[in-house]
Amino acid sequence: KQKCVDALGTETTVHSSAAQCVAHIACAEVPANRWPDLMAKLVANVTTPGSTENIKHATLETIGYVCQDIDPAILSSQSSEILTAIIFGMKKEESSDKVKLAATNSLLNSLEFTKHHFDVDYERNYIMQVVCESTQSSDPLIKVAALQCL
């Protein structure tokens, strides 16, 4: 498991095989509580200053795959941390369109278990601000992904 996480960001391909590998293992291990620190590691990969573009991108892809494939109830207790990493990658201060796109796609995949955050005014307003800013991106793929989130 750790070797797969360590491989995040080491590939030069558009989509990360390591991200898919981590996500598939996570879908088996996380529900059985055999990988309790995975999401904390993934969040740190995205939010730690000095993380490379490739690490952020592959990690956000991983988060997106996990959010898409795992039962939302399993991750609901970690939704704040996951949402923090996703929004961190989407913010206009992020210089990489590749990271922004992966983060925006991850948000789309996480809406099922993060929906309770939209019940809190300041959280909803901030999420919507970041999503709306993403709709103004010069990259059409980011625009489309952000519009899908709406």
Annotate 65-79 with DSSP letters as a single string: HHHHHS-HHHHGGGH
- Residue 123 CA to residue 81 CA, distance in Å, equals 13
pLDDT of residue 17: 92
What are the 10-residue block averages of pLDDT along the chain, 150 residues in total?
92 84 96 94 95 95 94 90 96 95 96 88 96 97 96
Distance separating the N- and C-terminal Cα atoms of the chain: 34
pLDDT of residue 81: 94
- Asked if residues 104 and 141 have their Cβ atoms less than 8 Å apart, the reply is no
Task: Kindly report each contact of residues 33-37 with a partner whose C-beta sits within 8 Å and lies 24 or more positions away, as own/partner.
Answer: 35/1
To the question of pTM greater than 0.85 for the whole model, the response is yes
